[in-house]
Structure 1
Amino acid sequence: MFDPWAITHERGIEVIRLPLRHLSGYTDGRRIWLDQHLTATEARCTLTHELIHLARGHDQHQPPAVEDRVRADTARLLVPWAAITAHAGSQLSPWHLAHELGVTERVLADRLQHASAAEIAELRRVGS
């Protein structure tokens, strides 16, 4: 399982937890701020998202198309396709599947939305 906290520790990236209004997290290109009210799962997903922004050199708000690509890459990093196919046909609700995979429902939805044609074909094959 991907551990974004290990990345921040290895790279010496400062993570600041405080109450944020209307945001889960953000970065200035050097540090990451996370809302202190996030659950452990929400913090893991948000931190991963912000680490991708850092890796791409982003230091301010990004246009929707860039944000969408960051969300897709966050989901791919946090949810390996094999984890989804392992649960094919399990009848789990989206909330339960997200919980089982250690991500938020939004990250799970992003992963499914940005699945490749080959991944979708595999899921159909495994689920039938």
Structure 2
Amino acid sequence: MTFHPWRWLRAKPEIEVIWQPQPVGRIAATDGHRVILMDPRQSQAQRRCAITHEQIHIEHRHVGGCSPTEERQVRAATARRLIALDELVAAYRWSRDLREMADELWVTPDVVRERLAGLAAEERRRLASVHDDLELTC
């Protein structure tokens, strides 16, 4: 099932989203409590990924930044939340190109890459079975 970050946010009226240009190299940020800063120059897919990423920082109460390990965990959680395994399998069946998969999944290529890198063993087997299925039908 597709995660809808804007629906999640609608249920959290205490969280304010402020649209303002961000410094070079940053598209969003949070105070870890109640504020998410979003750069308005993002694409829709970037916005979806960034708002989810910042929501996870708030859920984990990352105030004043976080460690590199915590940041990696948030990136992995963002990818898992935005890309369900069934959706990933369907996109993988359609294309192996990260950009095309990202377009299909309505995320950025970096989020697809993160989701693929974080696959559990059973998820890897399921994705590998798509390759086997495709060979049988050709």
Task: Report the TM-score when normalising by structure 2.
Answer: 0.88
Which residue among 17, 23, 30 is the counterpart of 2:26? 23
Question: Structure 1: which 4+ aligned runs deviate by more than 3 Å?
Answer: none
**For the residues of structure 1 that align with 2:95 and 2:4, how far apart are their CA atoms?**
28
Q: Residue 87 of structure 1: CA displacement?
A: 3.1
Q: Which residue of 1 aligns with 2:11?
A: 10
| Residue matched to 1:98 | 102
Aligned partner of 2:135 in structure 1 is: none
Question: Aligned letter for 2:9?
Answer: T
Structure 1 letter corresponding to 2:82:
L
The answer (yes or no) to whether the contact 2:28–2:36 under 8 Å persists in 1 is yes
2:41 to 25, 37, 60: 37
Aligned mates of 1:91, 1:6 — CA distance in 2: 29
CA–CA distance in structure 1, aligned partners of residues 35 and 48 of structure 2: 15
- Output the aligned Cα RMSD: 1.2
Task: Letter of the 2:26 partner, please give it.
Answer: L
Aligned to 2:70: 66
Moved more, 41-50 or 89-98: 89-98
1:48 and 2:48 matched = no
TM-score w.r.t. length of structure 1: 0.94
The Cα shift of 1:127 comes to 1.7
Considering only CA atoms, is the larger Rg found in Structure 1 or Structure 2?
Answer: 2
Aligned residues: 128
